[in-house]
Each structure stands twice: as C-alpha cells, then as structure tokens.
C-alpha cells in the first residue's frame, strides 16, 4: 500500500512539473505602456517606446540589454535629447513590448526587424543607434540589414563573440528543460535573483529597483529564447559595416569580461573607450562619463 501511494505521489509530481513546464513555456503577453512609454501597433510584435526631445526624421535610438528595459536609459536619455530626437525602445518580450509565442522574434535578427518596423512607424529615416549588451547585437544586425537608415552605431559592453560572456549559473539553469520552468517561479524573489542581477553592475553598485521590475516583466520565452542558439560574432559584423562604429566598455565588467572582449574588439580594429569604475551598465552607473564618451559621436552631422 505504501509503495502504491509513493508511486502515485511521484506520478502526480511528475505530471504537475510537466504541466507547469507547458504552461510557463507557452505564456505570451500583449504590449502595454510601460515606464512613460507608449505602444506602437506594428506589422509584427507591438513595441513600447519612449520619445524625448524634438521631432524629426533624425533620431538617436537607444536599445537596452537582455532582461532590461527602457528604464536603463533614464539617466542619460533626456540629456541626449536637449537638441536631438531620442527614442528608447523596449525590445520584443521586454518592458512593455509584446511577448509573442514564436521564438524567431526574440533573436537578434527578429529584434532588428521589429526595431526597424518601429522606426518606420515613427518616421525615422536617419538613426544613430546606441545598443547596450544584447542591444548592441540588435544594433549591429539593424545596421547590417538596414544600412539606408543607420548612420552610426555605438555598442556598450556587447560581447564581441558568443563565448565571451560569463552567464550566472541561475541564468543557465532557468532555461534547462522541465526544471527551468519550475525555477522560473522564483524569478520575482530579490533574494534569489540579486546575485545574478549584480553581474549587470559593478560589485559595489547596488542593484537598482528597476532591474528587478524589468526582469519580472519577461515571459519565460523572453528569458530563454532571447539567448537561445549560437551568437554571431558582433565584432565581425560591426567591422564589416560601412558606417562609423564606437565601442565603449565598463572597466570592471564581469558579465562580459573586460579584458578578453576589449582584446577581441581591438583585433577587429575597434579599440573600446574604457569607462573607469563602471561595470556592465555604465550608462546607469556612470552616466556623466558615459555621455562624455559618446557625446561627439552621436551628434548628427549636417
């Protein structure tokens, strides 16, 4: 009798885990305004965007990193917009943007196409694109696929190659089959996620509250499909562009370690500007220094 009960309990647990995996991995989310933005209804995933500064067909376009949102740009966006149009965009599945069910929308190519749809809807014909971390991968794809729109590219702390990333263990485990969806339920607990989120900043920089909010807004597909599959060499893609490129880097970045990435970019002919004292997110940690590093580069030439 006890054996039957134990077997029945085990079967029930296995079924519950499998059902949970299906429910979690199938979750989608409609777009909604977030962090002062508004939703663009597009031919593809709808995106949440926030605009600053004057209108016009020229704009600085800000693309955040993995598990982040347009809130990462708040320390610098308004200052960049004093004389120029600035547009911060939540990538597919992030922030207030739509989280669809198809994995193809979450990769760099799908994200780049979604951003291009947004820029077309906003009447942007000339863009200087600034991408942080994963956003730099999207920026490089956007420039490669739509050179008629992108005039310059800035990437900050974007891994030069797919293997130059030190992903935290929890970030890997959450995407494991079956077990991952179960672990995903703990993603909203700061005590669980703090150590992983800390890799996105310098060790002595407190993880800001918006980092937790942005992570919470991701569906499971947003968490795992955004980093699925082999990563293209961003250094090679950027080196092959027919537009000016600027690379900036946090001196103490541990998520995309500074030394090997700087070496790789240097070998591709792009020597990064190092921002002293900053970790993986210099525009948040050292906004003055970040603006100083990119100010001349992101000014449109007449």
Q: What is the mean pLDDT of the chain?
A: 87
pLDDT greater than 60 at residue 141: yes
Positive or negative, the CA dihedral 296, 243, 154, 40 is: positive
Find the mean pLDDT for residues 65-74.
96
Question: What mean pLDDT comes out for the span 228-240?
Answer: 78
For position 183, what pLDDT does the model report?
66
pLDDT, tens digit, for every residue of 183-225? 676 666 665 678 889 999 999 999 999 999 998 888 878 777 7
pLDDT tens across 73-131, in order? 999 999 999 989 999 999 999 999 999 988 889 999 999 999 999 999 999 999 999 99
Lowest-pLDDT range, 125-134, 153-162, 226-235?
A: 226-235
- Domains of the chain plus CATH, in order, are 3-294 (3.40.50.1820)
- Model pLDDT for residues 246-270, shown as the tens digit of each residue: 999 999 999 999 999 999 999 999 9
More confident residue, 235 or 163: 235
How far lies 293's CA from each of 18, 115, 181, 248, 275, in Å? Answer: 49, 25, 40, 7, 8
pLDDT at 20: 44
Global pTM reads: 0.89
Taking the alpha carbons at both ends of the chain, their separation in whole angstroms is 83
Question: What percent of the chain is predicted at pLDDT more than 70?
Answer: 80
Residue 171 confidence class, pLDDT cut points 50, 70, 90: low
22 against 118, higher pLDDT: 118
At residue 198, the pLDDT reads: 93
Whole-number Å distance between alpha carbons of 114 and 105: 8
What pLDDT shows up at residue 231? 56
Provide the 3-class DSSP secondary structure of residue 52: strand
Question: Please, which pLDDT band fits residue 133 given cuts at 50, 70 and 90?
Answer: very high
> Which of the pair, 133 or 170, is modelled with greater confidence?
133
- Residues 6 or more apart whose Cβ sits within 8 Å of residue 106: 92, 93, 221, 222, 225, 226, 228
| 9 phi and psi angles, rounded to 5 deg | -65, -40
């Amino acid at each position: 009798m006890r054996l039957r009960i134990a077997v029945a309990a085990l079967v029930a647990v296995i079924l519950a885990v499998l059902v949970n995996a299906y429910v979690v991995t199938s979750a989608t989310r409609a777009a909604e305004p977030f962090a002062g933005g508004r939703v663009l209804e597009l031919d593809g995933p709808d995106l949440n965007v926030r605009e600053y500064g004057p209108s016009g067909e020229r704009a600085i376009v800000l693309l955040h990193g993995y598990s982040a949102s347009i809130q990462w740009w708040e320390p610098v966006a308004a200052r960049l917009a004093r004389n120029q149009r600035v547009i911060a965009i939540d990538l597919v599945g992030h922030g207030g943007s739509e989280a669809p069910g198809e994995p193809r929308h979450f990769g760099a190519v799908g994200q780049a196409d979604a951003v291009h749809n947004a820029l077309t809807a906003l009447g942007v014909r000339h863009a200087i694109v600034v991408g942080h971390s994963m956003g730099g991968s999207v920026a490089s794809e956007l420039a490669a696929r739509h050179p008629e729109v992108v005039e310059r590219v800035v990437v900050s702390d974007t891994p030069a190659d797919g293997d130059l990333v030190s992903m935290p263990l929890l970030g890997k485990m959450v995407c494991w089959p079956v077990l991952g969806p179960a672990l995903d339920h703990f993603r909203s607990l700061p005590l669980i996620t703090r150590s992983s989120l800390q890799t996105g900043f310098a060790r002595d920089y407190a993880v800001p509250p918006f980092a937790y909010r942005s992570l919470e807004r991701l569906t499971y597909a947003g968490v795992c499909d955004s980093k699925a599959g082999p990563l293209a060499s961003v250094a090679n893609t950027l080196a092959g562009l027919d537009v000016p490129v600027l690379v900036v880097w946090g001196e103490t970045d541990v998520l995309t370690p500074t030394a090997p990435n700087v070496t790789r970019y240097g070998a591709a002919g792009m020597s990064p500007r190092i921002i002293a004292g900053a970790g993986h997110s210099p525009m948040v940690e050292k906004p003055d220094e970040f603006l100083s590093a990119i100010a001349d580069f992101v000014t449109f030439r007449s």
